A and B are shown apart, each in its own frame.
Chain A
Amino acid sequence: MSSDFVLKHKDLERARRILAGDRQVFKDFFEEYFDPLFRFTLNRLGDESLAKDMVQSTFCRALEKLDGYRGEAALLSWMFSICRSEMSAHFRKQRRYAEVEPNQTAEEIWAVLDTLADDRPSVEEAIMHRQMKGLIHLTLDHLPKHYGNALEWKYLEDLSVAEIAGRLGLAPKAAESLLTRARQAFRRTFDQLRRELSRPRGGAPNALSTGGSR
């Protein structure tokens, strides 16, 4: 049985239980998706109050549509797509079209990133830095929870493999192998998200635009 099939089945079952009124599943669903969605919207909008409203309307819209969810995408990706639609609608309403630069390539973006080592980055560079940070966090949020956590523990908290194994209840060898898989998944997901978010979406600002005119 492929892992995709298992994930799809789990997500469908989760959707079914939420609609059936299972409070625990609903709470878990909210707990799991709130932080990633909030980080995503806050990074893009830069305004906590607006980000809160956006996440709230994302959840409400998702609940409305949940009985139509057929597992075409992972539930998390499905939630993110709703969130992006909500943001697009918001920008349309606010007439805050950011200028999408169709020719802006990843190289140009990364070239700006390269300059971030400078002591005093320009405003544009600072914005780019924020967006990059958001994209990296978004990537972590898109990974299975234990993958994202393991990567943070290892590379940001400097935990040893043995300590990570202890936290995950695994043997050290299994933790080592999980870290390898997590790194590979990070790489794949990052590239995928970067491509997906760089694509303009229905006149709304793309993920790498600033949300304001230049």
Chain B
Amino acid sequence: MNEHGEDAKDRLLYFPVEADDDSTATGHSPHDLVRSEQTTEEMVIAMLKHAGPRDPSPEDVKNHVFDHVQGVWKQQVERQAAARRRWYGSIAAALILFGVLGWWWRFGLSEPLVDSTSTPSNEIVARVVVWDSPSPAPFEVGAELEVGYDLATTNTERAALDMAGVSLRLDHNTRVRLLAVNSVELLAGQVYIDAGEGTEPHQDAAKIEIRTSFGHASDIGTQFLVRIEPHSLKVQVREGRVKVVAQNQRHEAAEGAQITVNAEGQAKVTPLTDDQDWSWALAAAPVFDLEGANLAEALHWIGRETGLRIEYQDRELAAEAESIVTHGSLDGLTPAQAPELILATAGLGYSIDEERLYVHRLKTP
């Protein structure tokens, strides 16, 4: 009831008549006109109460339609991408013919960090290794992605791609574009890169380059994280070294350091704080294939993913670990959870202190 003693549903449920309203042609009763003087707020209240809250649509219907529409959309994107590739191919051919592109790329731009060998426009540059999603994942494990592909994770998804042996992991709300087998553009969010081992520290040939609007980061055999923030780029180095080029200036950071580059291209190298959290990268880590591997390899993988140094009780145990063949699967376990299962199965014990996973024989009773 309002101050006039009327109940909302008894009132006429529409707004004061406007001059251009078609309905003015027929005129209004005095009763209508009195009602038309009610304030907008009163009428909005009356109308909303009349209609009640909006019903959400049934989830199963929505999901079904989404799956169908998404399929149509993917096909359409593919068609468009194919058309674009044909177009770019023609342009590139023309440019190559005149030798312009090569000169421009080599001398006209900032230092290319990675040897971006020409990638055929439809080349597969990445493979999906993990797509962690509470709802049906957009990609199956093993899905191959072509150059130019844009992909994004939602706030509940994480993913890991394999790019010629380099592990690229995408945290929540991250968008990337695959530029080449060794080059990715980070458009939003943060990625973690494990470029694998074997690159000598003195070697300057990077395995992967992460391009951003602030600057480009590339590995020197390392594990690192690249994050875009509203006004800066942050590169955090877990292992090895990373170089960043911004505004034609080259900067480097080693293990335990981070480089921050602002919008003007100014860079600052600072130590990483103790509370640096790599756990999300672990959550998105590809699962180690336990079946047929040996215990030493499995522990090596755990060490690489968790950042722990693996130490055996003695040399004999280290040698023995190489001869113990492992079986089964680590599906559903993160690298941090894996030692429990693997070592218990092998009849061994372990302890973890700050930076070390110590493997030992179990004492016989």
Q: Which residues of A contact B274 (CB under 8 A)?
A: none
Flag the segment in A21-29, A72-80, A85-93, A161-169 that touches B: A21-29
Does A60 have its Cβ within 8 Å of any Cβ on chain B? yes
Q: Looking at the assembled complex, report how far the CB atom of A29 sits from the nearest CB atom of chain B, in whole angstroms.
A: 9
* B53 touches which of A67, A152, A195 (Cβ 8 Å): A152
Q: Looking at the assembled complex, report how far the CB atom of A31 sits from the nearest CB atom of chain B, in whole angstroms.
A: 9
Residues B150 and A183 in contact, CB atoms below 8 Å apart? no
Does A97 have its Cβ within 8 Å of any Cβ on chain B? no
* B80 touches which of A19, A105, A114, A184 (Cβ 8 Å): A19
**A23-B150, A48-B58 known; A187 vs B50 contact (CB < 8 Å):** no
Residues A137 and B41 in contact, CB atoms below 8 Å apart? no
Contact residues, B56-70 vs A (CB, 8 A): 56-58, 61-62, 64-66, 68-70
The residue of chain A having its C-beta at the shortest distance from the C-beta of B25 within the complex is A105
Does A133 have its Cβ within 8 Å of any Cβ on chain B? yes
Chain B interface residue number, banded: 35 or more
The residue of chain B having its C-beta at the shortest distance from the C-beta of A66 within the complex is B76
* A35 touches which of B54, B70, B76, B150 (Cβ 8 Å): B54
Q: Which residues of B contact A27 (CB under 8 A)?
A: 154
Q: Looking at the assembled complex, report how far the CB atom of B176 sits from the nearest CB atom of chain A, in whole angstroms.
A: 11
Residues A113 and B45 in contact, CB atoms below 8 Å apart? no
Contact residues, B9-49 vs A (CB, 8 A): 9-10, 12-15, 18, 21-23, 25-26, 28, 32, 40-41, 43-45, 47-49
Residues A38 and B48 in contact, CB atoms below 8 Å apart? no
Q: Looking at the assembled complex, report how far the CB atom of A21 sits from the nearest CB atom of chain B, in whole angstroms.
A: 4
Q: Which residues of B contact A184 (CB under 8 A)?
A: 40
The residue of chain A having its C-beta at the shortest distance from the C-beta of B155 within the complex is A24
Q: Looking at the assembled complex, report how far the CB atom of B126 sits from the nearest CB atom of chain A, in whole angstroms.
A: 14
Does A106 have its Cβ within 8 Å of any Cβ on chain B? yes
Residues B54 and A64 in contact, CB atoms below 8 Å apart? no
Q: Which residues of A contact B41 (CB under 8 A)?
A: 183
Residues B23 and A107 in contact, CB atoms below 8 Å apart? yes
Contact residues, B62-85 vs A (CB, 8 A): 62, 64-66, 68-70, 72-73, 76-77, 80-81
Does B52 have its Cβ within 8 Å of any Cβ on chain A? yes
Residues A35 and B26 in contact, CB atoms below 8 Å apart? no
Does A116 have its Cβ within 8 Å of any Cβ on chain B? yes
A18–B21 CA distance with the chains assembled, in angstroms: 38
Residues B61 and A136 in contact, CB atoms below 8 Å apart? no
Does A69 have its Cβ within 8 Å of any Cβ on chain B? no
* A155 touches which of B9, B48, B65, B138 (Cβ 8 Å): B48
Does B175 have its Cβ within 8 Å of any Cβ on chain A? yes
* B15 touches which of A39, A55, A113, A191 (Cβ 8 Å): A191
Residues B69 and A60 in contact, CB atoms below 8 Å apart? yes
A18–B28 CA distance with the chains assembled, in angstroms: 48
Q: Which residues of A contact B13 (CB under 8 A)?
A: 110, 113, 132
Residues A38 and B61 in contact, CB atoms below 8 Å apart? yes
**A26-B73, A52-B65, A105-B23 known; A132 vs B44 contact (CB < 8 Å):** no
Residues B57 and A152 in contact, CB atoms below 8 Å apart? no
Does B358 have its Cβ within 8 Å of any Cβ on chain A? no
A132–B23 CA distance with the chains assembled, in angstroms: 17
Residues B26 and A105 in contact, CB atoms below 8 Å apart? yes
Does A12 have its Cβ within 8 Å of any Cβ on chain B? no
Q: Which residues of A contact B152 (CB under 8 A)?
A: 22-24
A187–B46 CA distance with the chains assembled, in angstroms: 12
Contact residues, A106-121 vs B (CB, 8 A): 106-107, 110, 113-114, 116-117
Scan A163-192; emit 1 where CB is below 8 A from any B CB, else 0. 000000000000000000001101100110
Q: Which residues of B contact A107 (CB under 8 A)?
A: 23, 26, 28, 32
Q: Which residues of B contact A156 (CB under 8 A)?
A: 48-49, 52-53
A-B contact pairs, 23 of them (CB 8 A): A21-B80, A23-B150, A23-B151, A24-B154, A24-B175, A34-B62, A35-B57, A38-B62, A39-B54, A55-B65, A56-B65, A59-B65, A60-B68, A60-B72, A105-B23, A105-B26, A114-B12, A136-B48, A155-B44, A155-B49, A156-B49, A156-B53, A184-B40
- Residues on B lying within 8 angstroms of A by beta carbon are 7, 9-10, 12-15, 18, 21-23, 25-26, 28, 32, 40-41, 43-45, 47-58, 61-62, 64-66, 68-70, 72-73, 76-77, 80-81, 138, 149-154, 175
Closest 3 CB pairs of A and B: A136-B51, A24-B152, A21-B77
Other 13 A-B pairs with CB < 8 A, given A52-B64, A107-B32, A155-B44: A22-B152, A35-B54, A35-B56, A56-B65, A56-B69, A63-B72, A63-B76, A113-B13, A116-B9, A133-B50, A137-B51, A140-B54, A191-B15
